Amino acid sequence: MVENMDKIFIRDLKKYSDKEVTLHGWVYSLRSIGKIWFMILRDGTGMLQCVVVKNDVDQETFQKEELLTQESSVSVTGIVRLEQRAIGGVELGVKAIEIHQIADEYPISPKEHGTAFLMDNRHLWIRSKKQHAILKVRHQVIRAARNFFDDNDFVLFDSPMLTANAAEGTTSLFNVDYYDRTAYLSQTGQLYGEAGAMSFNRVYVFGPTFRAEKSKTRRHLTEFWMLEPEIAYCDINENMEWAEKLIMHIVNHCLENCQAEFEILERDVSKLEQIKMPFPRLTYDEAAKLLNDKDIDFEYGTDFGGADETVIAEQFDSPVIIHRWPAEIKAFYMKRANDNPDLALGMDILAPEGYGEIIGGGQREDDHDILVERIKEHKLPMEPFKWYLDLRKYGSVPHSGFGLGLERTVTWICGIKHIRETIPFPRTMARLEP
Amino acid sequence: MVENMDKIFIRDLKKYSDKEVTLHGWVYSLRSIGKIWFMILRDGTGMLQCVVVKNDVDQETFQKEELLTQESSVSVTGIVRLEQRAIGGVELGVKAIEIHQIADEYPISPKEHGTAFLMDNRHLWIRSKKQHAILKVRHQVIRAARNFFDDNDFVLFDSPMLTANAAEGTTSLFNVDYYDRTAYLSQTGQLYGEAGAMSFNRVYVFGPTFRAEKSKTRRHLTEFWMLEPEIAYCDINENMEWAEKLIMHIVNHCLENCQAEFEILERDVSKLEQIKMPFPRLTYDEAAKLLNDKDIDFEYGTDFGGADETVIAEQFDSPVIIHRWPAEIKAFYMKRANDNPDLALGMDILAPEGYGEIIGGGQREDDHDILVERIKEHKLPMEPFKWYLDLRKYGSVPHSGFGLGLERTVTWICGIKHIRETIPFPRTMARLEP
C-alpha cells in the first residue's frame, strides 16, 4: 500500500465516474447472493457499496468474503459506477482487495445495547452512523462559531484552566494538587475575557470548563466546552444582538453543511429552517406572567425550571431571549438596570423544542465602588478579585458578554436526547473512562 | 453613548477620510504644545493620533486634557484626516470627547519593569503594544492551523482533559479530586485521537494539555495548548509531509496577516520568508553524525539537548525534520522500522533560529500483539490500555500523527525569548495568578 496525502474519499466519488480508484477504510457490512457479494465500505467520509462479481475477479479475491468481518480494515480497488439505487449514488465494481487486519468479532451490533455498554465502548461506538454524524455536526458548530467571531473583529483569547482561587464558591469546583498548593479547574473564562476585552475590544474565549456538580441529569457533563465572547463598549441590547446573530449563523451554517448528518439523525430540519431574526425578547417579568397566565405554579423571583423553560420556548419558533432578571438570583458582577436596581441586566437564551438554556450572559457592572459593594454583599473574599477590580480602575468601559454551552447547542441542533453523545469522550459524575 | 454592532475601528479609518466618526477606546498617551494637545487613542485594533485644537473645540472639551490620564476610557468624535506622518497614516481632528472613566495612575510605564511585576499585572500588561501583538499572532497561528485542517478533510475531535489513569507515568501528571476517586489532567490527546482516526479517517485534537514538570526553563509552561492531528492510512513519510505543509501554511498565513504585529515585535521576517518546502530531513543517525563532525560531545542513543538542537537547526534556513530514532528513547506506541527493529518511526521537527522542537510525532504501532509486548517491556499496566488495544483488534490500519506545541510555535513565529508571553495567562510551577 502506498500512502499519500491526496487520497480519494468516498464522499467525492461522483467525480470519479468510470475511473479506477483505490479506497481505504473499514467493512461496515457484508451480504452475499451466491456469485456476487456486496461489501459496504466506510472510510470516515461516507459509505460505499462495493460489488464483487465472481467472474470479474480472481478466485482469491472472490474468496476474501469468507475472511472478512465487520470493521476489518481494507483497501479496495475498482471502477466507480454511477448507480442511483446505491447509497451516495455510486458503487464500486471491485477488482482487488487488500486486507490490513481481520477484525475480531465486533462488540457493537445493530441490535439494542444498554447505555453503560455503549459508553464503555465509546472508543468504538463513535464509529456508529449516528454517533459519527453527531460529532461531525459538533465540528461544524465550532467551525461556524469561530468563523463568526473571526469575521467580526473578535480576537481569540484563551483563558487558563488552572486558577488559584475558588472565587465563586467551592462546592462545584474540582481541586487540583498544584505542587505545594491547591488549584481549581476553571468554571468559566469570563473574568479573564473581560481583561481581554479591555485590551482587544472584542474577544472570545473558547475552551473546556469544569463543574463538579452532583447532578446526573441528561443535561450535565462535568467537562464541557464553552464559547464566551466579551465585548467592550457594548450594552445589554447590543449583547443580545451578538448572541442572536451567532446562533443564527450556527443554524444557517449547519443547514448548509450538515445535510447528510441531519438525514442520518432524522432531524426535522424544518424546525431549524423556520428560525428567524429578530428572536423574541421577553423580560423576566413577561416570562413569569406568561407562565402564570397558563396556570403554571411559578414563584416570581426564582429561576425557571426545565419544565418552565419548555413552556416558554414552545410559544415561539425561534430561540427566546429572556432579559432583565431579579438581581438576587444573578451573579455579583451583573450590572443593575438604571431604572430599577432590583433588576440585573442579564440575558439568557432558550433553545426551541424544549432544549433549554443554551446561552447565559449580560452586561457587566463597570463601576469600581459598586462592584466592591456587590462582592461584600455576596460575602465573597476581596483579595482574589483584586486584579478583576483593576479593570474598573484603569479605563473601565460599559461591556457585556455571554457564554454559549457548546454541547447543549449541539444537542439541540442535532435534535437528540442526550448531551453525552455530543462530545467524543463524555465525563460525568459516574464516568471517567475510557 | 449609543452602543451598536457596527462600530468604526481605528484599523479601518482610512476608508473614512474627511468623514466624521466616533471612536471608542483608551488613552495611550497625552502630549501638549500649548494651544494644541495630542492624544494617542488605542481601541484594540490600532493606535490613532487625536488632535485637539483650542480654537476648534469648546472650552470644556479643550480642558479635558487636564482630567485625562493614561488608560482612561473615552469616546472621541472628530473628522478623519489622511496624514502621512501620523501612525496608521490618519489622524483625527477632535470635535468632542466623552469620558467614561478616569483611570487611576497606571502601574505600567514605558520604563523597565521586572518580570514578576509584569506577570503580577498580566491582566493589564496584555494592553502593552508588544504583548498585544504577540497574542494577536497567537490567534492567527491558531486560525491558520484550524483552516488548514478543516480544508484538508480533518474532523475536529476534542479529547478529554480529565482522564482516569496515569498511563504514561505519574511524575509529571496533575492529580484532580474527582468525587470519590483521583483523575489526572491530560498530557496529550493522542491516544483518543487514534480512536477518532479509526472513525473519521483524519482528525485533529486541539486543546489545553498539562505537565507538572518541575522545570523552570523559559520553554516550559504547566498548561499549554497542543494541536494533534491523527491520520488513518498514513505512514511516517506522509506524516512528515502533513507536518511540513501545516508549518508552511502557518508561516505563510502569518506573513500575510501579521505584518503590523511583526513590525511592533521587530521580527526579522526575512527569516520566515526564506522557509521553503521540502524541509530538510535527517535521520537521527545523520543528525548525530552532524554533531560529531562538529566536535560536539554528543552520546549516540540519547536525546538531543537544547544546544544540540540549535547546532542542527542552524545548518538550515527551514525547519528540520529528524526521523528514525533509537527506539529506547521513544514512547511504547511507536512503530519500529521494518529494516531495523532498534529504530522507531518517530519524527521531530526543530524550528529554525534555535527555537527547538515544535513538533513530535510518528507512525503508531498497529499490531495488537507487538503493542502488548511493548506495554510489558515498558512495565506499564495493561488494564488502562484495554480500550486502546481494541483499536488494533477491530480494523487496525497503518496510522500516524503528531503534536505541535502551540506556544513554542508562537514564540518562534514572533521571534521572542519567552514562551510565557505567548499565552494570555501563563501557568508555571511558581505562577497560578492572576
Three cell numbers written together for A287:
416570562
CB contact under 8 Å between A395 and B208, yes or no, is no
- Say yes or no: B178 and B273 in one domain: yes
Pairing relationship of beta strands A202-210 and A155-156 according to DSSP bridges:
parallel
Q: Is B232 part of a structural domain of the chain?
A: yes
Pick from B103, B192, B202: which is nearest to A424 by CB?
B192
Q: What is the mean pLDDT of residues A350-369?
A: 97
Q: Is A285 part of a structural domain of the chain?
A: yes
* Residue ranges of E strands in B54-110: 73-82, 90-101
Residue B88: predicted pLDDT:
87
Phi and psi at B12, nearest 5°, equal -100, 10
Quote the CA–CA distance of A401 and A248 in Å, as a whole number: 17
Using one digit for the tens of pLDDT, what is the confidence trace for B93-149?
999 999 999 999 999 987 889 999 999 999 999 999 999 999 999 999 999 999 999
- A176 vs B214: which has the higher pLDDT: A176
Sign of CA dihedral B386, B243, A159, B143: negative
End-to-end CA distance of chain A: 32
- Say yes or no: B271 and B373 in one domain: yes
Residue A1: predicted pLDDT:
47
Exposure of A253 in the CB half-sphere (CA atoms within 13 A): 20
Q: Which of B76, B106, B108, B104 is nearest to B92 (CA)?
A: B76
- Say yes or no: A90 and A35 in one domain: yes
Q: Which of B209, B142, B198 is nearest to B173 (CA)?
A: B209
CB contact under 8 Å between B179 and A9, yes or no, is no
Cβ contacts below 8 Å, chain A against chain B, sum to: 276
- Determine the residue among B199, B248, B277 to mutate to test chain A binding: the one whose Cβ has the most chain A Cβ atoms within 10 Å: B199
- Say yes or no: B48 and B150 in one domain: no
CB contact under 8 Å between A390 and B127, yes or no, is no
What SS3 state is found at B171? coil
pLDDT-based confidence at residue A346 (cuts at 50, 70, 90): very high
Which residue is associated with the grid cell 420556548? Answer: A313
Beta carbons of A351 and A412 less than 8 angstroms apart: yes
Pick from A43, A155, A234: which is nearest to B3 by CB?
A234
Other CB atoms within 10 A of residue B297 CB? 7
Residue B394 carries which side chain, given as an amino acid letter? Y
Q: Is B432 part of a structural domain of the chain?
A: no
CATH code for position A327: 3.30.930.10
- Say yes or no: B133 and B51 in one domain: no
The overall pTM is greater than 0.80: yes
- Say yes or no: A80 and A145 in one domain: no
The residue of chain A with its CA nearest to that of B179 is A429
Contacts of B161 in chain A (CB under 8 A): 161, 185, 208, 210, 223
Residue B2: predicted pLDDT:
47
Beta carbons of B204 and B402 less than 8 angstroms apart: no
Any A CB within 8 A of B77 CB: no
Using one digit for the tens of pLDDT, what is the confidence trace for A145-204?
999 999 999 999 999 999 997 766 667 899 999 999 999 999 999 999 999 999 999 999
- Say yes or no: A284 and A220 in one domain: yes
Quote the CA–CA distance of A9 and A264 in Å, as a whole number: 19
Please say if the pLDDT value at position B44 is more than 60.
Answer: yes
Mean pLDDT of chain B: 95
Please say if the pLDDT value at position B170 is more than 80.
Answer: no
Pick from A178, A423, A432: which is nearest to B432 by CB?
A178
Q: Is A294 part of a structural domain of the chain?
A: yes
Pick from B73, B162, B427: which is nearest to A427 by CB?
B162
pLDDT-based confidence at residue B38 (cuts at 50, 70, 90): very high
- Say yes or no: A127 and A72 in one domain: no
Any B CB within 8 A of A226 CB: no
Distance from CA of B191 to the nearest CA of A (A): 10
Distance from CA of B230 to the nearest CA of A (A): 13
Between B386-393 and B190-200, two packed helices, what is the crossing angle to 10 degrees? 30
- A56 vs A87: which has the higher pLDDT: A56
- Say yes or no: A65 and A97 in one domain: yes
Q: What is the mean pLDDT of residues B301-321?
A: 96
Please say if the pLDDT value at position B167 is more than 70.
Answer: no
- Say yes or no: B357 and B392 in one domain: yes
Q: Is A431 part of a structural domain of the chain?
A: no
Quote the CA–CA distance of A252 and A35 in Å, as a whole number: 47
Mean pLDDT of chain A: 95
Q: Is B111 part of a structural domain of the chain?
A: no
Residue A237 carries which side chain, given as an amino acid letter? N
- Say yes or no: A129 and A21 in one domain: no
Q: Is B50 part of a structural domain of the chain?
A: yes
Using one digit for the tens of pLDDT, what is the confidence trace for A268-310?
999 999 999 999 999 999 999 999 999 999 999 999 999 999 9
Percent of chain A topping pLDDT 90: 92
- Determine the residue among A108, A432, A433 to mutate to test chain B binding: the one whose Cβ has the most chain B Cβ atoms within 10 Å: A432
Residue A252: predicted pLDDT:
98
- Say yes or no: A97 and A126 in one domain: no
Sign of CA dihedral B203, B209, B211, B212: negative
- Which structural domain range is residue B54 located in? 10-101
Q: Is A273 part of a structural domain of the chain?
A: yes
Instruction: Give Cα A170 distance to the centre of its chain.
Output: 26
pLDDT-based confidence at residue B216 (cuts at 50, 70, 90): low
What is the full DSSP assignment across B379-398? T--SGGGHHHHHHHHSS---
